[in-house]
Amino acid sequence: MIIGIPKEIREAENRVAISTDVVKQMVKAGHSVKITSDAGYNAGQLNENLKLAGAEIVNDNADVFSSCDVIVQVNPPDTSQIELMREGTILLSYLYAYTQPELVKALLKKKITSFSMDAVPRISRAQSMDALSSQANLAGYKAVLLGANALGKIFPLLMTAAGSIKPAKVLIFGAGVAGLQAIATAKRLGAIVECTDVRPETKEQVESLGGKFLAVKDEDGVKTEGGYAKEVSAEYLAKQKALVSKHVAEADLVITTALVMGKKAPILVSADMVRSMKPGSVIVDMAVESGGNCELSEKGKTVIKEGVTIIGETNIPSLLAVNASELYAKNIWALLSHLATKDGFKWEMEEEVTKGSLITKDGELVHAFTKGLISI
């Protein structure tokens, strides 16, 4: 097959869906690879190295979209890019299809078969394909550094001739992949770390990394699916708010990571809680693109409100584009290798990974979860 990698067009996107190592693997497996010139420049994947690995470098995205059997990219294509694709082209990228009915309509109209990287099932044998986890891992690390950089104090306990400096207190909402990496990073930097999560089963993981787990006693309001929060009752959220309010007020840095699949991110840090924080404290809202966990955060902006710096960076993995691209490319290749051989796709429609990640095929919306949330 001819596999195409276009240059990303999203503003401030530095990642690319390919690496020299993955190009070599694709070529060795019998595929041809076309890449838009300078598509990987911001991620350290230079044209000359990709060409030496076996890729063909073309002048523009239009060439890639119109001439390739399979398109792999990071972000969803826009409608103009979909129009350039040949009918029957196969697309692998993030789609978040359940939030983008117009994108789904465009894919159906052009009969594009699409697999969504954000829909890959969170099962053991699909870990190598799990782009959400690979990118969240990096984002959790970077979120701590963003917070540390904005904070006017150091993280560790420091004994000096002029006196002692108390360690910083870091509070993390959510013990998923991003939250656990944030705990580990903050602990390595010397902070006192606390974490709260709606899933009681994460307590052991938090404590194994040296964090203190803040638990709501009543667990009746918690529902999880595949280890990820699906729904939390209003009563549970009220109890969680009462539990963490005191800890938010004492924290120097708060990092929020809580997402609910298919819904707006829950508000966990209210305006009143922000007002209770010490002047100079910092909040990093990692859920800002999905509506935000902090009531006062602003998408794509760093703002100071009530004396607190609130960071609303929407694409943290892009700030670590070299590592993020390398890992994403491996995720893409793992999924593509699972779905297809050099002769084409296997179309094992009842196989768990295929069924979970396939969104559209032959002009039909086939993904059950997406069908339940949007009307086409």
77: nearest Cα among 107, 99, 121: 107
Active site residue 135: no
151: left (phi over 0), alpha (psi -120 to 50) or beta: beta
Active site residue 133: yes
Catalytic residue among 122, 128, 233, 276: 122
Active site residue 10: no
Q: Are strands 302-305 and 308-311 parallel, antiparallel or unpaired?
A: antiparallel
Active site residue 86: no
The dihedral built from the CA positions of residue 218, 223, 228 and 233, taken in this order, carries a sign that is negative
Catalytic residue among 81, 93, 130, 135: 130
Catalytic residue among 133, 181, 205, 325: 133
Active site residue 122: yes
Catalytic residue among 38, 60, 80, 127: 127
C-alpha–C-alpha distance, residues 363 and 249, integer Å:
52
- The DSSP H or E segment spanning 329 is helix 321-339
Catalytic residue among 69, 188, 228, 337: 228
In the 3-class helix/strand/coil scheme, how is 260-317 assigned residue by residue? CCCCCCCCCECHHHHHHCCCCCEEEECCHHHCCCECCCCCCCEEEECCEEEECCCCHH
C-alpha–C-alpha distance, residues 200 and 269, integer Å:
20
Active-site residues, by number, are 122, 127, 130, 133, 228
